Structure 1
Amino acid sequence: MSTMKIEMLSVPGASIHYEVRGTGPVLLMIHGGCGDADVFLEVADLLADQYTVVTYDRRGHSRSKLTNPAEDYRIETHSDDAHHLLAALTDEPAYVFGSSSGAVIGLDLTMRYPGQVRALIPHEPPLLDLLHGDERLKAKTIMEDLIADHRKLGLFPAFFKFTSSIGLQNDDGNSPSSPPSDEQKERMIANMEYFMTNEAPGVLGYAFNLEQLQTALSHSIAQVCPAVGSTSRHYFPTRSAEGLAERLGVEIFEFPENHIGYQVQPKPFAERLKDVLSSLG
């Protein structure tokens, strides 16, 4: 296991818990809903021989506390946090990997702060604006049902219904390779509540500006390389990634496993991420 440094960063409206391990070019990893830095524990250790891997708890998650717990959720605020974190750690453009809603945050970061991004790997971003027709309506219904089910049915029934709808059936083949500790379970439950109450409505209401992203890419060295899981091809976050690749005219990269492949198969996932990043130069 690599040596890890744990720090806190003050940003407007929050204190951000972050962790740094390894040496080499900076690789910022942005977790998705319900998670925190720990979802990348194993894969980050496997990447640390080639990269300075930065993981963090996004504001409102686990150890990153909000100044105002009732603040409105905005993708732009979360990408501002990533901007501040990168600015505190490096003067060079960094590699960025974003998972799920973390991929949406990564796209917003690249769109608004392209000079900080060398390459972004958005892994299955749940962006409805990249879908068409019935696919878009179905995805919108999934997100709206999550929010409504949380109110009507409670946390766990809503969560398991939602995860099943994106290819996570909660069986042995889809579970993280290492079971969470009691402390991690407690944090995850609080993060699930934050996800359903704040993040899901925020992602649903986010207006993705493809033209602004294309302009940012044309005036910087930043690259966007959408990614999908090999076993989640038929679910809407994957279809969103495919739509993004099509609109940008870029290759789509396949990674092992599903929406959380970095937890299910961390070693092959890390190897694939190394291969993709090295191919980008």
Structure 2
Amino acid sequence: MQTDDEATAATSHTLDVEGAVLHYDVRGAGAGPALFIIGSPMDAQWFGPLASRFSDRTVITYDPRGAARSTRSDPAPESTPEQHGEDLHLVIEAVGAGPVDLFASSGGAVNALALLTAHPEDVVTVVAHEPPLTGVLPDRQAARAAVDAIRSSYAAEGFGPAMARFIALTAWEGELPDEPGPAPDPQAFGLPVEDDGHREDVLLSQNLVTCTSYEPDLDALRAAPAQLVIGVGAGSEGQLAHRAGRAIAALLGVEPVVFPGGHAAFLDASMEGDPDAFATALRAVLSGS
């Protein structure tokens, strides 16, 4: 995962914030707005392939609180999109590169909406790609029941069974059944069956519930001076995050932009991504094409 990241020399930095120490990386020194690329719980290393394709710009990536290099001392069991949004604001402030263009994937897209709500002056363009917001879906009750089933599974059985439920939920196409079905076999996804006793997974313990249940302030998002683009994947049609992207775009009165590939098409080709095609599409959006 580090090949593209190393090819575009990055300087790494730390930032003390309330309840965490954040690690972020800065590449290049291009003209125009810096490009901040984020996910959640995905950390900076996953965005190396995409970042390397914007060598003409200053590019910022970071590890969200609790993920990879970014340690967390906050005693609360969960982090919120509002906390993550404030972290993003403080990183932008620390780099001194604002206002920035922001590409945000999945849970990062939810956190980007929180940033745009609280600090609209920080951004020029926000591209929120497939934010998994259950509250905007017509089957929101079923979606939240499925998320609760994941959390309950994690508490009772540990990582493997809970992650198997998560993968099955994200891959489901169409509206969800009213009641979550039986848990899939973790071994079918190459996951462990036995419980190792740990309950510190950054997705399952820290972010899953607060991220998916976040309720965006639609009025604030409409009023923000920044350009807000909602992205969906051509290859994820019918899946929860794709449907949520289309649903919030409709609530905001904008047309979603269809990006090539699925939910994580920006990943390296070895992980079934196409960062060249994705970067071309993102560059077109950021240029207003």
TM-score if structure 1 supplies the norm length?
0.83
Which residue is equivalent to 1:88? 94
Shift of the 278–204 alpha-carbon distance from structure 1 to 2, 3 Å rule, reads closer
Which residue is equivalent to 1:67? 73
- After TM superposition, the structure 1 = structure 2 runs for residues 229-268 of structure 1, keeping only pairs within 5 Å, are 229-263=233-267, 264-268=273-277
Query: What do you get for the CA RMSD once the two structures are aligned?
Result: 2.2
Answer yes or no: is the 8 Å Cα contact 1:75–1:108 preserved in 2: yes
Alignment-mate amino acid for residue 244 of structure 1: I
Q: Which one has more relative contact order, counting CA pairs under 8 Å at least 6 apart?
A: 1
Which residue is equivalent to 1:206? 214
Count of residue pairs the alignment pairs up: 253
SS at match of 1:105: helix
The Cα of 1:69 is off from its aligned counterpart by 5.0
Give distance in 2, aligned partners of 1:50 and 1:250: 29
Which residue is equivalent to 1:270? 279
Shift of the 203–36 alpha-carbon distance from structure 1 to 2, 3 Å rule, reads same
The Cα of 1:160 is off from its aligned counterpart by 2.7
**Unpaired segments ≥5 residues, structure 2:** 1-6, 174-197, 268-272
Stretches (4+) displaced over 3 A: 68-72
Alignment-mate amino acid for residue 44 of structure 1: A
TM-score if structure 2 supplies the norm length?
0.81
Tell me, yes or no, if structure 1 residue 143 matches structure 2 residue 143.
no
Shift of the 191–107 alpha-carbon distance from structure 1 to 2, 3 Å rule, reads farther
Give distance in 1, aligned partners of 2:215 and 2:280: 33
Deviations 1:186-214 (A, max 9, x none): xxxx9981211121122244332212222
Give distance in 1, aligned partners of 2:83 and 2:130: 21
In terms of Rg, which structure is larger?
2
SS at match of 2:237: coil
**Unpaired segments ≥5 residues, structure 1:** 170-189
Shift of the 233–244 alpha-carbon distance from structure 1 to 2, 3 Å rule, reads same
Answer yes or no: is the 8 Å Cα contact 1:214–1:248 preserved in 2: yes
Give distance in 1, aligned partners of 2:106 and 2:280: 20
